[in-house]
Structure 1
Amino acid sequence: MKTKIFLILSLLFTGLVYGQDSLQVVHQKARLVAFTPLRSDIEKVNGLTVGLGFDPKYTLNGQPYFQKVNGLNLDINPLGFLMWMFYDPSKSACKEPYLQMNGINISTSGYFRGINHNGAGFSLYNYGNTMNGVIVSVIVTDIEKGRGILISGLGISAKELKGLSISAFNDANNLSGMQLGFHNHTTTGKGLQIGIINKSERLKGLQIGFWNKNGKRTLPFINF
């Protein structure tokens, strides 16, 4: 009888400890507030992230963990300008997205490759993967895909762009929308280019500027 009671108490104690550990793990995976770079035990943040920025530091079997942030991200990185000067997005080792940001991003530096963003963002530069919403970069934007309104001081480059691109130099492999700037270029597209110089290999739409060139003709002022 004593042996049975002991076994029952042991099982109850073990279950209680296991339940507490499980709750602790769940608590670690989802946070309301977290510092960046995010720790590997955090899968999701529903609230606020603040720190030096997102970084694919933690990997699993050679691949970065996929993490998600819903809310507000604040990057306070004093080395943002230096990071922009030395970072080459074409040589990025990150081939797959490692973080999904949904909400508002305010950064003194910017995104590197591997970050998807839905919402609004203001940063020094942007080398993210897919950007959807209203994205403003002080210097340059170089992304894989963009959908919405992209504004950048110096240049915007995207493999696929659906929406409005406003910058001194705009470049898109595939455009569905409008480019507004000093020099606009697209390989193929549908839409409108307004600038001093507009170039396209194959465009279904209108070019308005001092010099316009598409796959059919080259004309000043207006081309179609």
Structure 2
Amino acid sequence: MKIKFLMMIVLLAGIIMNAQDSLHAVSDRSKFIAFSPSKETKNVNGMLIKYYDEIDQEIQPKKVNGIGLGLNGLGVFFPLLFLVNITSIDNWAINDVGSEPLPDKMNKINGLQFSIINMEPTVTNGLELSLSSNISAPSVTNGIAVSPLYNFHHTTNGLAVSTFANISQKCRGVQVSLINVCKNSRGIQIGFWNENERRKFPLINWNFKNKKS
């Protein structure tokens, strides 16, 4: 009797553990439409809708194959604050470009990132369209970044186009804007004022010499 009872307990424990593993597998399964912030949102093959951005320490990294749609309403106000500080070129000095390393936890978007503003560490492989991109968020763009106001990136590989300013720590490609600033560049800058590690120059600036990352 005792042996049968123990066998029943072992069998029941096995069923519970298998059920937990199945639930965990379901939670890790890719979603077609997902929302963020959400601890359950990890892999998306379709569209990710962000209604709020998480701070660096709290971010739950997400991988999106498709579209990342950022609807954070704070993005409406940040551009106005930066417009106040654009009156002097000195406000965009190259020494002000951040040199912090990229964080371990970063979102990855393979496709299109379309947002009012992005305040989460993100790697975008494809096209980035935003009102004022990546403010207070170290980011990498491999492809094309377009903004009617500003582009702020840790690393730009490809083409960055904006009206007022392109600001990056590392650039491999082309920056086109009123003001272009890059601390570690290999490529071309086209704009009213351009700065890289070699020179400050109006209209067009360049650097094709290798520099260690």
Same fold (TM over 0.5): yes
Q: 1:141 is matched with which residue?
A: 151
Q: Where does the alignment leave 5 or more consecutive residues of structure 2 unmatched?
A: 83-95
CA–CA separation in structure 1 for the residues paired with 2:178 and 2:192: 5
* Contact preservation (8 Å) 1:30, 1:46: no
Q: 1:172 is matched with which residue?
A: 182
Say if 1:52 and 1:85 are closer, same or farther in 2 by CA, change over 3 A. farther
1:162 and 2:172 equivalent? yes
Matched pairs, number:
190
Q: 1:183 is matched with which residue?
A: 193
- The percent of aligned pairs where both chains have the same amino acid is 21
1:126 and 2:136 equivalent? no
* Contact preservation (8 Å) 2:139, 2:155: yes
1:98 and 2:112 equivalent? no
CA–CA separation in structure 1 for the residues paired with 2:102 and 2:202: 35
* Contact preservation (8 Å) 1:185, 1:198: no
> Normalising by the residue count of structure 2, what TM-score does the alignment of the two structures yield?
0.74
Amino acid at match of 1:166: V
Q: 1:48 is matched with which residue?
A: 47
Q: CA offset at residue 95 of structure 1?
A: 6.2
Higher helix share: 2
Q: 1:151 is matched with which residue?
A: 161
Q: CA offset at residue 3 of structure 1?
A: 2.7
Residue deviations 1:190-215, cap 9 Å, x none? xxx9x854467xx459xxxxxxxxxx
> Normalising by the residue count of structure 1, what TM-score does the alignment of the two structures yield?
0.71
Task: Report the 3-state secondary structure (helix = DSSP H, G, I; strand = E; otherwise coil) of the residue aligned with 1:24.
Answer: helix
Q: Where does the alignment leave 5 or more consecutive residues of structure 1 unmatched?
A: 206-224
Residue deviations 1:6-32, cap 9 Å, x none? 322222222112111122123223441
Q: Which has the greater radius of gyration?
A: 1
CA–CA separation in structure 1 for the residues paired with 2:55 and 2:186: 31
Q: Which range is displaced more, 161-170 or 171-180? A: 171-180
CA–CA separation in structure 2 for the residues paired with 1:157 and 1:68: 25
CA–CA separation in structure 1 for the residues paired with 2:204 and 2:190: 10
Amino acid at match of 1:134: I
Q: 1:72 is matched with which residue?
A: 67
* Contact preservation (8 Å) 1:116, 1:129: yes
Give every structure 1 segment of 4 or more consecutive aligned residues whose post-TM-superposition deviation is greater than 4 Å.
none
Say if 1:58 and 1:21 are closer, same or farther in 2 by CA, change over 3 A. farther
Q: Which range is displaced more, 156-165 or 49-58? A: 49-58
CA–CA separation in structure 2 for the residues paired with 1:162 and 1:95: 17
Q: 1:111 is matched with which residue?
A: 118
Q: Say what the alpha-carbon RMSD is for the aligned residues.
A: 3.2
Mapping of 1:81-92 within 5 angstroms? 81-85=76-80
